Chain A
Amino acid sequence: MTSHLGTDDGALSDSGPTEAPLGGTEDGRDRAAESAAAPLDPPAPKGAEAADVTDDHDDSSQDRLDRLAAPLSGPVAPEPEPPGPVAAPAAPHRPPAPSVTAPVVPPSPAPTAFVPGPLPPGYAPSGHGASELSDGAPHAGFAASAPAPLPASLSLADVAPRRRSQWAMIVIPLVLALLIALSTYLLVTARALERRNAEWEQVARSTGQDLAKARDDLAGALAELDGTRAQLDAAQTRITELADEKAQLGDDREVQQRLVDFQSKVSDAARNVTSALTSCVDGQNKLITYLQDSAMYDPVELTRFRTDVTRVCDSATDANKALQEVLTR
């Protein structure tokens, strides 16, 4: 679509009324209608009208429009010149194709949807350039109609850039603001994290010192624990030994006690034997004395006394034998 703006082909004039319906706004249609309906209008008002159309555009759109309109408005701007020297100004005002097509060609698929309509009368191409026009009327008509498709072409080409520019006016500041805010936030966060990192490092060093001290204390405590365990084992062993020694001493004590008791009983028995033997001897001595003067005593009493002495001596003899037997065991 925009390529039509950069050429001087006869199809240029065809695009005006054909593209008009493709315009996104009623203004585009109106301008196309105007351009089709007034091919003989003076070019100046058309140029002025085209300039008016772009008044409400922003600067960038105006610049772009100026660039686009420059090749077409070239022959229009020198309005005082008569249509006679049409061929003369046509050649020098031919716009360089790259300067126009390069910034305007949109990547949109609009050209594929372009459907050429019937050519209006007076717009049939007769050649490839304005210089090939046979008379002045068509030439004048071409000169007059050259600005005619300008509004239509400008509106068609301006719709998408205009929207893009509007979007750009909104999005770019927003993105810039967002990037600035993001950068600020990241900067603040990075500095805060840097400070926090320093604080944590300090804490880590302090904790590391505490840990090292705790490890030393733990190593000391474990060493003491090992020593204490060894002492405990030794103490347990010693306690067991002492308990056994005490038990053995208790056994010995009980044995000795039993021996003492036995010795005591033996001593008592020996004392009793000794006493019995003494009594025996005493009785026998008395019996001997009595028998020396037996006439002085009753024979019956002497016999009874002799029997008693014999019994005491027999008991003493038996006790002595028993004692001797016990002592010999």
Chain B
Amino acid sequence: MTRRGTTSLRAAGAALSVVLAAGCGVLPALPGPMPTDIVPSHAPIAEPTQTGNLSVDGFDAAQRMAVRIRNIGCSSLSTGSGFAIDESTLITNRHVVADSDDLQVSTYDGRDIAVTAASIAGLADLAVVRTAQPLPAAPVLAESDPAPGDPVTVVGYPLGGQLTVTSGQVIGTTTDPLNENLGEVLITDAPVEPGSSGSAALDSEGRVIGVVYAKNSTGMSFVVPVSTLRAMLADDTSFVESTSCATTS
């Protein structure tokens, strides 16, 4: 066989090898060993889109943080609302705890919480109550005051009755019509009633944006803004010990 023929034969062999290699890629492969288990040991878990009412008893945080305050005065008995800001501290209105002989706090599920001390603010209708037992839950204070139009949710015990959640939106701001607060207060259209004083006003994310303290005849509610609350809590001298009516009378 000549050199030319050999070269051609080699080229043909190379071409055949290329064709075989390409053809092997096209041919179906023999199946591998049968898997022993096709069920994954850990199935992918979908991320929850919302938390819902996930708690030990199904109540949400807004309900769990609310407390009912009974003010047993020397000559009268009144009720108000409040909310926890930590495990043993409540925020309410000054007029809720004023002129009291005894303060009694109960939670959303009816548990009684003993009160160890109460302090009132001089420049705002705010008060701080210390408890002996831990409180169920505490919300987060918002960083800034809400803007007009923002949604607001009020959680409290109107008329000293059941725990109630009402909703509305921020109407605007105004000076305190009762002259009990320094600076401006928020106006909302969230329904409140006597007994709702000290209720937490929450934004859409469950953060505290203020403390309900009054209402007018047109149904508007007035709220001490969270900025005032923050300023009062930051100042150690802003709260003074509340005196009992029994000692003053």
Cβ contacts under 8 Å, B231 to chain A: none
Asked whether A247 lies within 8 Å of B109 as measured between CB atoms, the reply is no
CB B170 to nearest CB in A, in angstroms, measures 27
Beta-carbon contact of A240 and B108 below 8 Å? yes
| 0/1 string, B2-42, CB within 8 A of A gives 1 | 00010001001000100010010001111100100011000
- Extra inter-chain contacts (14) besides given A167-B12, A243-B162, A251-B160, CB under 8 Å: A163-B5, A186-B28, A189-B30, A193-B31, A199-B34, A235-B58, A239-B59, A246-B110, A247-B68, A247-B70, A247-B106, A250-B104, A251-B77, A254-B72
Q: Is B178 an interface residue (CB 8 A)?
A: no
Q: Is the CB of A189 within 8 A of B77?
A: no
Whether A247 lies near B30 (C-beta < 8 A) is: no
Q: Does B1 contact A166, Cβ atoms closer than 8 Å?
A: yes
Shortest Cβ distance from residue B216 to the other chain A in the assembled complex, whole angstroms:
26
Q: Please provide the chain A residues from 99 to 145 with a CB less than 8 Å away from any CB of chain B in the complex.
A: none
A240 touching B57, Cβ below 8 Å: no
Q: How far is the CA of A246 from the CA of B108 in the complex (A)?
A: 11
Which residues of A are found within 8 Å of B107, using beta-carbon distances?
243
Interchain CA distance A185-B1 in the complex, whole Å:
34
Q: What residue of chain A has the Cβ atom nearest to residue B39's Cβ?
A: A207
Cβ of A254 and Cβ of B58 under 8 Å apart?
no
Q: Is residue B79 contacting chain A, with contact meaning CB distance below 8 A?
A: yes
Kindly list chain B residues whose C-beta atoms are within 8 Å of the C-beta of A239. 57, 59, 108-110
Stretch of A50-58, A170-178, A320-328 lying at the B interface = A170-178
Name B residues whose Cβ lies closer than 8 Å to a Cβ of A. 1, 5, 9, 12, 16, 20, 23, 27-31, 34, 38-39, 57-59, 68, 70, 72, 77, 79, 104, 106-110, 112, 157, 160-163
In whole angstroms, how far apart are the Cα atoms of A281 and B236 in the complex? 62
Q: Is the interface of B mostly helix, strand, loop or mixed?
A: loop
Closest residue of chain B to A170 (Cβ to Cβ) is: B9
Taking a contact as CB atoms under 8 Å apart, the answer to whether B27 and A250 are in contact is no
B residues in contact with A186, CB < 8 Å: 27-28
A-B CB contacts (within 8 Å), total count: 81
Contact call B28/A189, Cβ cutoff below 8 A: yes
Given contacts A239-B109, A254-B72, contact A247 B58 (CB under 8 A): no
Chain A residues closer than 8 Å to B38, beta-carbon distance: 203, 207
Which A residues are CB-close (under 8 A) to B109? 239, 243
A251 to B76, CA, bound (A): 11
State which of A188, A196, A244, A254 has its C-beta within 8 Å of the C-beta of B162: A244
Whether the Cβ atoms of B30 and A188 lie closer than 8 Å is yes
Partner of A196, one of B1, B31, B110, B160: B31
Q: A171-B12, A239-B109, A243-B107 are in contact. Are A251 and B30 (CB under 8 A)?
A: no
Kindly identify, within residues 149 to 201 of chain A, every residue whose CB is under 8 Å from any CB belonging to chain B.
163, 166-167, 170-171, 174, 178, 182, 185-186, 188-189, 192-193, 196, 199
CA distance A217 to B201 in the complex (A): 43
Q: Is A236 an interface residue (CB 8 A)?
A: yes
CB distance from B78 to the nearest CB of A (A): 10
> Chain B nearest CB: distance from A97 CB in Å?
33
- Once A239-B109, A250-B106, A251-B77 are accepted as A-B contacts, the answer to whether A193 and B160 lie under 8 Å apart by CB is no
What residue in chain A is nearest B16 (Cβ atoms)? A174
Which of B23, B109, B157 has the most chain A CB within a 10 Å cutoff? B109
Could you list 9 examples of A-B contacts with CB < 8 Å? A167-B12, A182-B27, A207-B38, A207-B39, A239-B59, A243-B109, A243-B110, A250-B70, A251-B77
The yes or no answer to A221 lying at the interface (CB within 8 A) is no
Q: Give min CB distance, B41 to chain A, whole Å.
A: 15
Query: A54 vs B205: C-alpha distance in the bound complex, in angstroms?
Result: 102
Report if A258 contacts B (CB, 8 A). Answer: yes
Q: Do B106 and A240 have beta carbons less than 8 Å apart? A: no
Residues of A near B59 (CB, < 8 A) are: 236, 239
Q: Are A185 and B27 in contact (CB under 8 A)?
A: yes
- A212 CB within 8 Å of chain B: no
One digit per residue, 1 when the CB lies within 8 angstroms of any chain B CB and 0 when it does not, for chain A 216-232 equals 00000000000000001
Whether a CB of chain B sits under 8 angstroms from the CB of A302 is no
| Shortest Cβ distance from residue B51 to the other chain A in the assembled complex, whole angstroms | 15
Q: Is A91 an interface residue (CB 8 A)?
A: no
Per the bound structure, the CA–CA distance linking A207 and B39 in Å amounts to 9
Q: Is A77 an interface residue (CB 8 A)?
A: no
With A166-B5, A188-B30, A251-B70 already in contact, the answer to whether A244 and B161 are too (CB < 8 A) is yes
Task: Check A178 against B27 for contact (C-beta < 8 Å).
Answer: no
A178 and B20 in contact (CB under 8 A), knowing A199-B34, A207-B38, A254-B70? yes
Q: Are A246 and B106 in contact (CB under 8 A)?
A: yes
Please tell me if the beta carbons of B77 and A254 are within 8 angstroms of each other in the complex. yes
Task: Give me the 8 closest cross-chain CB pairs, A-B, nearest first.
Answer: A243-B110, A244-B162, A196-B31, A246-B110, A232-B58, A239-B109, A254-B72, A192-B31
Residues on B with C-beta less than 8 A from A188 are 30
